[in-house]
Amino acid sequence: MKLPAFIARRYLFARKSRNVINLISWVSMAGIGISSMAFILILSAFNGFEGLVENLYNTFYPDLKIESAEGKVFVWDDSLQNILSSDGRIAAFSQVLEENALLLFKGRQQPVTLKGVDEHYVEVSGIDSAMAYGDTFMLKKNGRFFAVLGSGIDQALETHFKDPSSPLHIFMPRRDKGHGFIPGSDFERASVSVWGAFVIQDEFDNQYAFVPIEVMRRLLRYKREVSSVEVAVRPGLDPEAEAQRLQKKLGPAYRVLSKYRQNAVLYRIMNVERLAVYFILTFVLVIVAFNVTGSLSMVVIDKKKDISILKAMGMPDKGIRNIFLLTGIYQALFSLFSGFSVAALLILAQQHFGLIRIGGSGTFIVEYYPVAMKAVDFLLVGMIVLLIVSLAAWLPARRAARQPKLEALNIR
């Protein structure tokens, strides 16, 4: 194998007898290099947006979420509290009570999903880092209750920041009544002041508002009921594995959801999109690989005399075939190295200097296209390219191996 590899390396950059063959070979390698570079750049952009979306969702969703296996709410009892408190793999947990409500502020009204949380909520979510105004995420201070609104809800109601003279009124249907959603005698009411607003993305900003869980329980006439318990696991632990472990610990009365299961549709869509990107770009590489077949076929024709001499010297057909197979693989490796190097430099430049800006400045949560390199992408793209090129090189390599021994020796 050493001799075929040595000859293949010589053929890689050696001048051919006709300039057009050199040109075809370089065009073939350029096509593979540009395709592999584009493959990595597109995947890095996909990784960037995927990471951005995950960060946004991680701001709102906890590592784990405990729900009742049956029913909308369950009682927060001492046994459940003791299990979670004594679990060394759990960093924090928070009681949550969630229900639809109507907010009213100075004649303006807005339906929302109202989320009542306790003082530990900031320990299980990243909501504190998403505050658009308001010093921190705070729902209680000096005996007063406050609300934190999504920025879309805040804009719709035109609330006054920390204005105690203009309370925010909350209306929620009584659980024992079935009338329409109109403020009246069939509704429980509460009033709080607005502490601030958060900005994550429209899905959350236009839907959710937070109040202390005591306010929610008073509105719903509950004592210790919760709709869920949100849990943060210790850093470095896998939420999927912890969800399975905690599910076994709590038993069938509860359902423990990891981040993936809380957003199963989102993750499924991202996985399908990634597979679609791989499929489309692999198809492009297959088309480009036809250039490899053509260029190697031209090299085989150009090296007919060399092939006949090597056969006359005793090289078996397998060795001849390996020469041209390895020539194609070396072309692919050279192209991959070039394409990957340029792609890595462009990704680093985008990360540090923001070369490409997202259109519509000020309408998106980031100013420049987010990109992220992953070693697995380089590995997979490299394997795909080498596999396709190897298959493309097989036909001309086999044709070279079948050439008669002395066919080229009589050429003048």
Angle 264-302/317-353 helices, nearest 10 degrees?
Answer: 130
Q: What is the mean pLDDT of residues 319-328?
A: 88
Query: Which residue, among 222, 160, 149, 147, has the nearest Cα to 190 in the 3D structure?
Result: 147
Cα–Cα distance, 347 to 374 (Å, whole number): 11
Is the same domain home to 95 and 160? yes
| Cα first-last separation, the chain | 31
Domain closes at, from 212, 232, 259: 259
Q: Say what the pLDDT of residue 126 is.
A: 92
Q: Write out pLDDT tens, residues 9-68.
A: 777 766 655 666 677 788 888 999 999 999 999 999 999 988 888 888 888 999 999 999
Give the residue numbers spanning the domain of 353: 2-57+266-401
In a domain, 341, yes or no: yes
Is the same domain home to 103 and 195? yes
Report the domain count for the chain.
2
Q: Say what the pLDDT of residue 224 is.
A: 94
Is the same domain home to 173 and 80? yes
Q: Picking from 2-6, 105-109, 170-174, which range would have the lowest pLDDT averaged per residue? A: 2-6
> To 5 degrees, how large is the angle CA 314–CA 316–CA 321?
135
Cα–Cα distance, 123 to 125 (Å, whole number): 6
Q: Say what the pLDDT of residue 344 is.
A: 96
Residue 219 identity (one-letter amino acid): L
Residue 274 has pLDDT above 80, yes or no: yes
Is the same domain home to 327 and 381? yes
In a domain, 409, yes or no: no
What is the overall mean pLDDT for the chain?
87
Residue 315 has pLDDT above 80, yes or no: yes
DSSP 129: G
In a domain, 411, yes or no: no
CB 267 within 8 A of CB 260: yes
CB 408 within 8 A of CB 308: yes
Is the same domain home to 221 and 107? yes
Is the same domain home to 191 and 281? no
Q: Say what the pLDDT of residue 219 is.
A: 95
Q: Say what the pLDDT of residue 112 is.
A: 97
Residue 133 has pLDDT above 70, yes or no: yes
State the residue for tokens 């009584």. Answer: 174
Is the same domain home to 92 and 219? yes
Is the same domain home to 247 and 282? no
Q: Say what the pLDDT of residue 354 is.
A: 85
Q: Say what the pLDDT of residue 383 is.
A: 94
Beta-carbon contacts of residue 308 (< 8 Å; ≥ 6 apart): 403, 404, 405, 406, 407, 408, 409
Helix ranges (H only) for 202-316 are: 202-205, 213-220, 239-250, 259-262, 264-302, 304-312
Q: Write out pLDDT tens, residues 330-374.
A: 989 999 999 999 999 999 999 998 888 886 555 556 788 899 999
HEC string of 15-33 equals CCCCHHHHHHHHHHHHHHH
Domain closes at, from 259, 280, 310: 259
In a domain, 412, yes or no: no
Residue 408 has pLDDT above 60, yes or no: no
Q: Say what the pLDDT of residue 125 is.
A: 93
DSSP 358: P
Q: How many CB atoms lie within 10 A of CB 357?
A: 12
Domain closes at, from 240, 259, 278: 259
Q: Coil, helix or strand for 194?
A: strand
Residue 149 identity (one-letter amino acid): L
Angle 239-250/78-85 helices, nearest 10 degrees?
Answer: 140
Q: Say what the pLDDT of residue 24 is.
A: 77
DSSP 364: S
Residue 412 has pLDDT above 50, yes or no: no
Q: Say what the pLDDT of residue 9 is.
A: 77
Q: Write out pLDDT tens, residues 87-131.
A: 999 999 999 999 999 999 988 999 999 999 999 999 999 999 999
Is the same domain home to 71 and 208? yes
Longest dimension (CA), the chain: 107
Q: Say what the pLDDT of residue 28 is.
A: 86
Beta-carbon contacts of residue 253 (< 8 Å; ≥ 6 apart): 68, 69, 74
Cα–Cα distance, 21 to 297 (Å, whole number): 10
Query: Which residue, among 363, 362, 58, has the nearest Cα to 200 in the 3D structure?
Result: 58
Q: Say what the pLDDT of residue 314 is.
A: 82
Q: What is the mean pLDDT of residues 69-87?
A: 94
In a domain, 408, yes or no: no
Q: Say what the pLDDT of residue 379 is.
A: 95
Our CA dihedral for 360, 361, 363, 365, rounded to 10 degrees, sits at 130
Distances (CA, A) of 223 to 85, 172, 220: 21, 17, 9
State the residue for tokens 């105690």. Answer: 164
